[in-house]
Amino acid sequence: MKDHLRKKIARALEALGVPEAPVPSFEKPRDPSHGDLTTNIAMLAAKAARRPPRDLARDIVAGISGPDALVASVEVAGPGFINIRFTEAYYHGVMRSILESGDSYGRGTSGAGVTAQVEFVSANPTGPLTVGHGRGAVFGDTVSRLLEWTGHAVTREYYFNNAGRQMRILGDSVRLRYLELLGSASPFPDDYYQGEYIREIASRLRNERGDALASEPAEGEFRRRAEADIFTEIRGTLGRLGIAFDVYYNENTLYESGKVEEILSDLRKLDLIYEQDGATWFRASALGGDKDKVVVKGTGEPTYRLPDMAYHREKIRRGYGLIIDVLGADHVATYPDVIAAMKALGHDTDRIKVLIHQFVTVVREGEVVKMSTRKANYITLDELIDEVGPDVVRYFFLMRGIGSHLNFDLKLAKEQSEANPVFYLQYAHARIASIIRHAASMGIDPAGEGDLSVLSSPEEMDLMKALSGFPDMVESCARAFEPHRLIEYLHETAGAFHRFYHAHRVVTDDGTMTAARIVLARGTMIVLKNGCSILGISAPEKM
RNA sequence: GACCCCGUAGCUCAACUGGAUAGAGCAACAGCCUUCUAAGCUGUAGGUUCCGCGUUCGAUUCGCGGCGGGGUCACCA
């Protein structure tokens, strides 16, 4: 449709002798009374044409051949907008195509042939996932789904490190708890992992092995068991949210394959590495960074920065057309060096998108709960799912733009779960399912095609217009990596259905009208279901 | 102090990336079930978009300067 209009307007502009005019773009007017689609092309081209926008707009409209089967009217409005109205027949045609496409209505091809890698969560196995991880997890997964819907081949990847100081402390934390269980208590350091889960792991070891591990070092069985148990739990939590990864990438791989050494020496060749005070530094200041950063400590151990660089280089080398990093705001300082290093090494960094989400503030009983893996007073993602269910968790995390801090009031989420927006959406779907069941019980074939020309009331038109916008919405949400806009759209669409439902009965004595409205109901169901599928929430048949 | 994110209705947040009269959900108030699901619908009320200057036909959106909140500035990840 937009292409159709674009060509018409381009022709009109050419005829008017405005060759340098920009390509017309169309958008849905905020105010529905302004038509179905609008363009500001006359205002943009006014300067080049050296004419008042309204005059130019009037001539463009005159230059477009009269109303056709799809376009009902084209008129000039306001400071020079050109408003376009579609015919009812156009929307009836959209309804038929929705039913024809079914589960794939809304899928696009803009990403066809493009491979995309989305890295998210990437929490080290030192404890259960927190609510903060949850936001990144749900967001990363939904961005992946959006990319799949627009035709990309997506790899979901989880990057982790099971070596180093934190893991040693983890192992030793388990060891101390284990010894406690054996009755030989020793002081438990403040900077050790305080969580109850450490005791649970220790307890399992004790049950299985008795006191056989009493003189075992922290680095051995304790550390291995802690990692295995915690990772199992992490995967389980993600699984409850419908999240699964294609690749778990272990940082160790980068050492074993020599990639860390390689990037160090390649950067050294570019004079971006130097030694000072016993450490090895990255000359970030030469690449626009604020100051240089240590990449290998005096102990000989690299900081996270170096393997991060090696990892990103690996991603680039794997040939992805799109590389997405989903990070929490606490990691905001880490990526500029990585990007700078990639650029310095001659890699194309335009393909890398770093998406940073702000923190989740958890409020329980009016009190802010801090999130720290090491302390005991955090809320795990698992507990959150227990309390409000996976659909609410996903929906709430996706509801807001990632640039905003997210307030998650547990009490509110639980108490008001019946008035939750997620139920508003699911309720519309269940309601339609119920209507279809009712129609079937009346002997009406719900799959029947009808004469749709009877659909013309304001509520029916509003609903059809909403449904027709779904594919564009999916496309723009994917392009901008903004799932929250899809939520807004689905909420509006569900509202359009609820209003239609209250204004009109679907199943009546009028066979033609019944058939047509069932088509409308089924089309709505398809959009809601496909939308829920992108969000990763269920679309229940009954509630 | 430097850098990043944010500041919009009483609260939590949108606003299609610069468009026309700034919108939803909670919370408040008033209505609507003999009928396909009332987890719904209709209406009322609620605003100096933190402040100032600038850019232009046009600014919640872009730029500069303030103010306020959060985050990050380790040889921790």
CB atoms within 10 A of CB A65: 10
Residue A514 lies in a domain: yes
CATH number, residue A116? 3.40.50.620
- Judged against a pLDDT cut of 60, whether residue A375 lies above it is answered with no
Kindly report the bases of strand B lying within 7 A of a protein C-beta atom: 2-7, 12-17, 19-21, 23-27, 35-42, 57, 69-77
Spell A230-267 as b/e; 16+ CB within 10 A means b. bbebbbebbeebbbebeeebebeebbeeebbeebbebb
A507 CA: nearest nucleotide by C1':
B36
pLDDT digits (tens, 9 = 90+) for A320-333: 999 999 999 888 88
In angstroms, how far is B6 C1' from A460 CA?
39
Q: Please say which residue of A410, A442, A461 terminates a domain.
A: A410
- Judged against a pLDDT cut of 80, whether residue A427 lies above it is answered with yes
In angstroms, how far is B10 C1' from A397 CA?
24
pLDDT of residue A61: 87
Residue A494 lies in a domain: yes
Q: What is the pTM of this model?
A: 0.94
- Judged against a pLDDT cut of 60, whether residue A91 lies above it is answered with yes
In angstroms, how far is B24 C1' from A392 CA?
18
Residue A91 lies in a domain: no
pLDDT digits (tens, 9 = 90+) for A381-414: 998 999 889 999 999 999 999 998 888 877 777 7
Task: Tally the domains of chain A.
Answer: 3
Are residue A205 and residue A315 in the same domain, yes or no? yes
In angstroms, how far is B68 C1' from A493 CA?
37
Are residue A397 and residue A428 in the same domain, yes or no? no
Are residue A270 and residue A378 in the same domain, yes or no? yes
pLDDT digits (tens, 9 = 90+) for A170-199: 999 999 999 999 998 788 988 888 888 999
Q: Please say which residue of A346, A380, A410 terminates a domain.
A: A410
Are residue A375 and residue A232 in the same domain, yes or no? yes
Cα gap A263→A250, rounded to integer Å: 17
Average pLDDT over residues A109-119: 95
pLDDT of residue A56: 84
CATH number, residue A522? 1.10.730.10
In angstroms, how far is B1 C1' from A406 CA?
28
Are residue A427 and residue A378 in the same domain, yes or no? no
Torsion angle, CA of A475/A479/A483/A485, rounded to 10 degrees? -70
What is the phi/psi pair of residue A211, to 5°?
Answer: -105, 20
Are residue A63 and residue A123 in the same domain, yes or no? no
CATH number, residue A76? 3.30.1360.70
Q: What is the CA radius of gyration of chain A?
A: 29
Are residue A54 and residue A134 in the same domain, yes or no? no
Burial of A288 (0-12, 13-18, 19+ CB in 10 A): exposed
pLDDT of residue A146: 97
Are residue A153 and residue A261 in the same domain, yes or no? yes
Residue A158 lies in a domain: yes
Q: Please say which residue of A410, A441, A474 terminates a domain.
A: A410
pLDDT of residue A65: 66
Are residue A167 and residue A273 in the same domain, yes or no? yes
Are residue A358 and residue A476 in the same domain, yes or no? no
Q: Whose CA is nearest the C1' atom of nucleotide B69? A: A405
Pairing of strands A153-160, A247-250: parallel
Are residue A81 and residue A141 in the same domain, yes or no? no
Residue A100 lies in a domain: no
Residue A14 lies in a domain: yes
Measuring CA to CA, how many Å separate A41 from each of A20, A66, A78, A541? 12, 19, 13, 45
Burial of A69 (0-12, 13-18, 19+ CB in 10 A): exposed
First to last CA, chain A: 38
In angstroms, how far is B77 C1' from A530 CA?
38
Average pLDDT over residues A26-50: 83
**pLDDT tier, A212 (very low <50, low <70, confident <90, very high otherwise):** very high
Residue A542 lies in a domain: no
Residue A103 lies in a domain: no
A424 CA: nearest nucleotide by C1':
B39
Are residue A81 and residue A124 in the same domain, yes or no? no
A436 CA: nearest nucleotide by C1':
B36
Hey, what are A372's tokens? 């720290």
Domain span including residue A63: 2-86
pLDDT of residue A331: 86
